[in-house]
Amino acid sequence: MNKIRLDSLRLISLLLACVIPLTASAVQKSNEPDLFALRAENSFDPATIDAIGDKVVDWQLANLDNFSSYMRNYRENTAHRRGWVHGAMYVGMMNWAALPGNEQYIAPLRKIAEEEEWKLGDRLFHGDDHIVGQMYLAFYEMDKDRDMIDHTIRQLNQILVANPQGSLEFLGDSIHGVGWECQLRWCWCDALFMSPQTWIGLSLALGEPQYLEYADREFWATTDYLLDPETHLYFRDSRYFDRRDEAGNKIFWSRGNGWVYAGLVNILRIFPQDHPSYPKYVQLYKDMSATFASLQRDHGFWSPSLLDQSPNPTPETSGTGFITYGLAWGVNNGHLDAGAYGPVVRKGWSALVSAVADDGKLGWVQPIGAAPDSVFETDSQLYGVGAFLLAASQVIGLE
């Protein structure tokens, strides 16, 4: 069968930053209902992956205005279109829309960007409010319309001038809240998915190095602070350094480490390979990959708490989605051995597919939080969909 390849338009914010081999059948849309029904048996067929991914996107787009009907512990900020909850979905959808035959999903994202006037979130320094800039940079790379990134430029320039240098310790007070001061920087691991790629992407878009150098400096400051050298996993923030679970294990949150790992991949996809820091990112990626491979549970998911070895582990799709994405990207791009890691990817993808209902709703997504918590089959969230689509966009090209 002839091979086709993604057109690498160098969409800096992850749209087409790397080339993935696909079989021709991957771009042929199918309306056959039994294709989706047979997902468990044919979950690695490109046409099946394509159909499942479309089903998940279509369900989510049709349910963007009734969150409280399917989100346990619904929070009002979930509805903020420029926030991290939506932003993580945008990153996944932009990757999915980059696949041949999926161009129809670009239009709803462009509509959102236009309605939000191409603005970042309202909190100047907070990394979570920078993630939407990754989508704006992708559209800028398509259209070269500077209005799409003007607000991003102005916001990041203000941060460069302020140059926050405070402690990364997650402290606070009763007035401002816990962690308010350190969040002027990236003092929680989730931020490494949300912000650095916007900084690096802007640097590449404008040809100005100061944004990349800031992101590189802050990424390693956070990593030096939060990375556990024994496991190559990240504590969510400094509050977890000394916390242990009931079995005495360190607490490493699956989604938190998934944020870091997927963010690390998204950095590697656009980071200049001749930069002195590039080998450090690659080594960190390989170290984390080995740890993740060793911690996958028998059912294919990663536990909400990564070191939890309870006999009946709870499925969780957001962490599993990000991890599967990262591992599949490494196999596709020669960073990871296909013989060793391919089975881990396939097991993870099979688990993710099992969490998709026939109508396309993704289940088993742990609600918003900062640590391992309860999760049920009925739980869904936008960031879980983003993680699923990132995984799908790489698994579809897996040999």
**Model confidence pLDDT, tens digit, residues 247-287:** 999 999 999 999 999 999 999 999 999 999 999 999 999 99
Helix spans in the chain (H): 33-37, 46-62, 84-97, 106-115, 132-143, 150-162, 191-194, 196-206, 210-226, 254-268, 278-295, 317-332, 338-354, 382-395
Question: Which tens digit of pLDDT belongs to each residue from 296-319?
Answer: 999 999 999 999 989 999 999 999
State which residues of the chain have pLDDT below 50: 1-28, 30, 32-35
**pLDDT at site 2:** 33
pLDDT for 76 equals 81
Give the amino acid at 326. Answer: G
**Cα–Cα distance for residue pair 351/203, rounded to 1 Å:** 37
Residue 139 CA to residue 185 CA, distance in Å, equals: 27
Domain, as residue range, for 264 = 3-395
d(C-alpha 60, C-alpha 67), whole Å: 10
| Confidence at residue 20, expressed as pLDDT on a 0 to 100 scale | 40
Give the chain's domain count.
1
- The whole-angstrom separation of Cα 132 and Cα 56 is 21
CA neighbor of 252 nearest in space, from 304, 297, 301 = 304
Residue 3 confidence (pLDDT) = 30
Specify whether the CB–CB gap between 320 and 352 falls below 8 A: yes
Write out the catalytic residue numbers.
190
The residue assigned the tokens 């200049």 is 272
pLDDT at position 102 is 97
Residue-wise pLDDT tens digits, 355-387 = 999 999 999 999 999 999 999 999 999 999 999
pTM summary value: 0.92
The CATH number given to whatever domain includes residue 23 is 1.50.10.10
The DSSP string of 142-167 is HH--GGGTHHHHHHHHHHHHH-----
pLDDT of residue 187: 97
